[in-house]
Amino acid sequence: MTPNSPKILGIGTVTVDHVMTVSDFPAPDTKNEAISTRFQVGGPVPIALAQLSRFGHSTNFLSAWGDDPFGNLVQERLNAEGIAFSPACRGDFATSVTQIWLKESTGQRTLVTSRTNGAAMAEFLTADFMSQFNVLHLDCWPSEAALLAARFMKENGGFVCVDTGSPKAGVEEILRIADVVNCPKRFCEIFLNESDLAEASRKISTFGPKIVTVTDGENGSVLHTQGETFHQPALKFGNIIDTNGAGDSFSGAVIHGVLQDWPPQKVLKFAATCAGLKCTQAGNDAALPNEVDVLQRMNTKVSPEN
């Protein structure tokens, strides 16, 4: 059962992305010129929450960022999206930073993150705090806080969603608790030694989640539920400008569709459409579509990426 009036708490990494658009990914030991450069706020959970806010949901974010200019940027973005947060998330340390190389011709990206320490986040997870929410979205970082929150939410009849890009500590237990799991193909290859999307989604479902989605960029995505697997080609709505944040947008769209109790085929196509639209614009703020845009484009003829 999905909540009637979902109040969503997200726990996970937040970074300030330094995006440098390049003509090609640099070779080792070379000097290269960027075509353009910008700063933006990123992270699987905050971008999924921003997407969910665009769809009209009540969202709250728990993470850790520093008392520095980058921390100001994080709070400005959360405020702009209507994502609630506690001032206690901010501490006397450096905000996480991600360096992203964005290839101009394809929108592909390569990134490296310097992540701040989130060990203290578990202290915020009191019963009074957690009881405000009935939906939890995690990226499995930091592991202690993610596990505590997932256990509390499940024990109190809540709904747990996970977007895991890489195998982190405690991920197996969280998969056993989760109702919805989204992950990329690379997670399945590392965690399960499985590269087939349909088989990977089935294997993840054996841990216990009711719905599993696995994404593979231009090769599309799958959704597994109740013993059935559905495949959705990637959808192209114009030139691909920027793939960064597309998976986070996809994850937020899956959560939205599940909370609406849509049939699995509609959930999957809605998420693929949302991610496809995001890729037509740079960044992960103005590029995130609203529900009307996504539903309208679902019903138009598009070009699948094969």
Asked whether residue 126 is domain-assigned, the answer is yes
Asked whether residue 110 is domain-assigned, the answer is no
Asked whether residue 38 is domain-assigned, the answer is no
For 67-86, what is each residue's pLDDT tens digit? 999 999 999 999 999 999 99
Q: Are strands 7-11 and 15-22 parallel, antiparallel or unpaired?
A: unpaired
Write down the pTM of the prediction: 0.93
Q: What is the mean pLDDT of residues 244-265?
A: 97
Q: What is the mean pLDDT of residues 92-109?
A: 92
User: What residues are paired with 113 via a beta bridge?
Assistant: 98
The helices-and-strands tally (H runs, E runs) of the chain is 10, 17
Higher pLDDT among residues 303 and 105, named by residue: 105
Asked whether residue 306 is domain-assigned, the answer is no
Q: What is the mean pLDDT of residues 13-39?
A: 94
pLDDT number for residue 223 = 98
For the chain, what is the mean pLDDT? 94
Candidate from 45-49, 92-96, 109-113, 299-303 with smallest mean pLDDT: 299-303
Asked whether residue 100 is domain-assigned, the answer is no
Is the distance from CB of 162 to CB of 182 less than 8 angstroms? yes
Asked whether residue 23 is domain-assigned, the answer is no
State how many domains the chain has. Answer: 1
pLDDT number for residue 304 = 56
Closest CA to 223 of 242, 201, 244: 201
Question: In the structure encoding, which two tokens stand for residue 60, read together?
Answer: 């709250």
pLDDT category of residue 299 using cuts at 50, 70 and 90: confident
For 214-248, what is each residue's pLDDT tens digit? 999 999 999 999 999 999 999 999 999 998 899 99
Question: In the structure encoding, which two tokens stand for residue 268, read together?
Answer: 């999957």
Asked whether residue 143 is domain-assigned, the answer is yes
> Residue length, the chain?
306
Closest CA to 11 of 47, 39, 48, 45: 45
Question: In the structure encoding, which two tokens stand for residue 228, read together?
Answer: 């059935």
Give the alpha-carbon dihedral of 260, 54, 48, 136, to 10 degrees: -50
pLDDT number for residue 3 = 75
Q: Is the per-residue pLDDT at 306 higher than 90?
A: no
Q: What is the mean pLDDT of residues 58-71?
A: 97
Q: What is the mean pLDDT of residues 54-65?
A: 97
Asked whether residue 27 is domain-assigned, the answer is no
pLDDT category of residue 119 using cuts at 50, 70 and 90: confident
Q: What is the mean pLDDT of residues 278-294?
A: 94
For 162-187, what is each residue's pLDDT tens digit? 999 989 988 999 999 999 999 999 99
Q: Is the per-residue pLDDT at 15 higher than 80?
A: yes
Q: Where are the alpha helices (DSSP H) in 118-184?
A: 127-130, 143-155, 171-177
Q: Is the per-residue pLDDT at 161 higher than 60?
A: yes
Q: What is the CATH number of the domain that holds 278?
A: 3.40.1190.20
User: Which domain range does residue 124 map to?
Assistant: 7-13+43-95+119-301
